[in-house]
Structure 1
Amino acid sequence: MKYFAIAAVAACAFAAPLHAQSLSTAGTLVVVPAFGEVKRVNDQATITLSVEEVDKDKAAAASRVNTKMKQGLEIVKKADPQASLKTQGYYTYPVYPEEAPLPNGQQRKARVPTAWRVGQSLQVVTSNLDALPKTVSAAQAILSLNHLHFSLTPETTRQLEDQRIAATYQNLNERIASIAKAMGRKLGDAVLDTVDFEGPGNFSDRVAVTGARAMPMALSVAASAPQSVAEPSFEPGETTLSMRLVGKVRFK
């Protein structure tokens, strides 16, 4: 019994300092990151239409490209008068025949092009998504669809800014409450010292528009007659807009 009594006294002696050494959180400054996001169905489309011709006669290839692009512009303007149009890269470069490697020491003669490749692209930005399949179908009778991207209009993005800020600030409050609970403190003991909106995230819809070059076409000597194209099917999907902030909280 004597040994048990000594052990109990020793345990109490060690337990008391441990309890006394529990960390004080008074005046503690805590850095809290927060994140918020909102989602909205896309209401804008960006498409790239292009035309390319290959011909032994450079002028003939350029003439067909110019004619088709003019026709394509007229078709798009008629199908979607509110669309924003922007002509993009116009290129002309020679096409050379494939040649086998020469034996060592032999020099190759100056290459002579066998044809010329000419092309041009048109960027179309529209919020008329209901008419988009019909517009694309009509344009594809003359031009090729090379790029399609859905996004939010600038107006919709601005409208969502209040929701983004509210969602991010709510996430900050939730995290502060969780931290206070983990520290054994009341939420009322936390005082928000600083809110730093660093890196607000996708304040723009980050539209990536590329004027992709059309795939090489077969060598032709005459323009083919336009053909009707069945309407394509599109799903605009949705865009997620995010925001980050860092809050500094001090406990009383």
Structure 2
Amino acid sequence: MKYLAAVVLLACAAAHAESLPTNGTLVVVPAFGEVTHVNDQATAILSVEEIDKDKAAAASRVNQKMKQGLDLLKKADPQASLKTQGYYTYPVYAEETPPQPGQPLQTRKLRVPASWRVGQSVQLVTVNLDNLPKTVAAAQSVLSLNNLRFGLRPETTRQLDEQRIAATYQNLNERINAIARAMGRKVGDAVLDTVDFEGSGNYSGNRVEVTGARVIANATNVRAAEVAEPSFEPGETVLSMRLVGKVRFK
């Protein structure tokens, strides 16, 4: 009898849950979409650094090598965009021996630089990825490759924006259909009240999230006349979008 009574109560509860009215219900539905594209642009940072007791000598060698490096980059990839940056000059001091216990403190002397460190960097932006290993190898005869990353050209990103919006809106429709079935309602009973492509509000996160495959290369300054070509894999970039829709059931 106790078992039978429990079954009856559960059946009543289920019937009550199924008959829960949903007329006029407003449902907030987040949706997501993303598109993937092979990276078609590379940004490389190359630099040169010299250390010398003579500040002028160090600066002179840096200036000469940077000029040689720029000429090599322009010759290897004439269509690349170049921008010099990060010129620095600062002193390097010799390490001072700390006083031993019981040794009297000497009068502090004016510190004199033991040498000078001078350096400069150049940024290269190119879409010629097939020729990139050859370009970098040519410049590495006088410059060091400090950083390399791949991404999408602005033109490519704009072209993919329409696909990203379509994928996100399709996901919204799929989720609305699933919610309607779960609520025991027909999709035709639902009216799309609001579509927020900005993703604003407490229920949403960032509008666009861009994550790309990145390749980082670190290299020391190479003095050889010729450098073997490095190997790079551009990878791909995923462009994602989030929107929030409000659906009201009749």
Task: Please give the per-residue CA displacement for 1:212-246, whole angstroms capped at 9, x wherever unaligned.
Answer: x997x8xxxxxx96521000111000000010100
The whole-number CA distance in structure 2 between the counterparts of 1:85 and 1:10 is 78
SS at match of 2:69: helix
Task: Please give the per-residue CA displacement for 1:77-135, whole angstroms capped at 9, x wherever unaligned.
Answer: 11111101000110000011112323587354222111000000000000000110000
The whole-number CA distance in structure 1 between the counterparts of 2:123 and 2:10 is 77
SS at match of 1:160: helix
Q: Cα offset for 1:142?
A: 0.8
Q: Which residue of 2 aligns with 1:243?
A: 241
Matches within 5 A, 1:43-122: 43-102=40-99, 106=105, 108-122=108-122
Gaps of 5+ in 1: 218-223
Q: TM-score, normalised by structure 1?
A: 0.84
Gaps of 5+ in 2: 200-205
Kept in 1, the 8 Å contact 2:48–2:143? The answer is yes
Q: 1:19 to 1:57 in 2, by over 3 A?
A: same
SS at match of 2:118: strand
Kept in 2, the 8 Å contact 1:157–1:205? The answer is no
* Rg larger in structure: 1
Q: 1:182 to 1:113 in 2, by over 3 A?
A: same
Q: Which residue of 2 aligns with 1:127?
A: 127
Q: Which residue of 2 aligns with 1:19?
A: 15
The whole-number CA distance in structure 1 between the counterparts of 2:6 and 2:223 is 101
Q: Which residue of 1 aligns with 2:208?
A: 201
The whole-number CA distance in structure 2 between the counterparts of 1:94 and 1:117 is 6
Q: Which residue of 1 aligns with 2:161?
A: 161
Kept in 2, the 8 Å contact 1:85–1:124? The answer is yes
Q: Which residue of 2 aligns with 1:231?
A: 229
SS at match of 2:227: coil
Q: Cα offset for 1:186?
A: 1.0
RMSD (CA atoms): 3.0
Q: TM-score, normalised by structure 2?
A: 0.85
SS at match of 2:208: coil
Q: 1:86 to 1:9 in 2, by over 3 A?
A: closer
The whole-number CA distance in structure 2 between the counterparts of 1:122 and 1:148 is 12
Q: 1:241 to 1:17 in 2, by over 3 A?
A: closer
The whole-number CA distance in structure 2 between the counterparts of 1:61 and 1:95 is 12
SS at match of 1:110: coil
Where in structure 1 do 4 or more consecutive aligned residues deviate above 4 Å? 7-18, 204-208
